[in-house]
Every structure is written in structure tokens, then in C-alpha cells.
């Protein structure tokens, strides 16, 4: 969620999201977006950790794909996304 928001901000400001300063430039990555996220990371991480400590999870909060990958359910992802976008 943070990456998408920062990507939009970078483009709106006229920056090329693939040209990083601290992160390695590659055509298939958004290096500059990751550069911009770094200062925000502690705030986002702290908010998510606070949420995780308060939240009681159930099996319905997660989905297990056929290949064994565990994903957050769409409902829980939406809740986490709303938490992050308010930062």
C-alpha cells in the first residue's frame, strides 16, 4: 500500500520511479519509490505492529493458496490498507 501511494506521489512530482538513489536502478523495479519509503518505514512498521498486537486473528483472516502460500484475506488487507493510508 505504501509503495503504491509513494509511486503515485513520485510521478505526480515529476520523478522517474525507476531511478534510485540508495536502491539499485533496474528497469523492472521502482528503486526511487523504495528510496522515498525508507524514511516512512519506521512509522508504518510501528503502526502495523501496534495493530497486530491488538488484533485477534482467526483462520478466516488468511487464505492458503494451492501452492502453499499463505495470504491475508481481502477483508484484512483492506483494514491494514486503511490503517497505512491514514499515516
The pLDDT tens digits for 9-60 are 999 999 988 888 877 766 667 888 889 888 888 988 888 899 999 999 999 9
**SS3 sequence, 28-52?**
CCCHHHHHHHHHHHHHHHHHHHHHH
Which of the 8 DSSP states describes residue 61?
Answer: G
First CA to last CA across the chain, in angstroms? 11
Distance of CA 64 to the CA centre of its chain: 20
Amino acid at each position: 500500500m505504501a509503495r503504491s501511494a509513494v509511486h503515485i506521489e513520485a510521478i505526480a512530482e515529476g520523478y522517474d520511479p525507476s531511478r534510485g538513489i540508495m536502491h539499485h536502478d533496474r528497469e523492472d523495479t521502482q528503486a526511487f519509490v523504495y528510496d522515498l519509503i525508507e524514511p516512512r518505514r519506521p512509522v508504518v512498521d510501528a503502526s502495523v505492529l501496534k495493530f497486530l498486537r491488538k488484533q485477534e486473528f482467526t483462520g478466516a483472516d488468511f487464505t492458503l493458496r494451492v501452492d502453499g502460500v499463505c495470504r491475508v484475506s481481502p477483508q484484512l488487507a483492506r483494514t491494514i490498507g486503511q490503517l497505512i493510508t491514514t499515516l
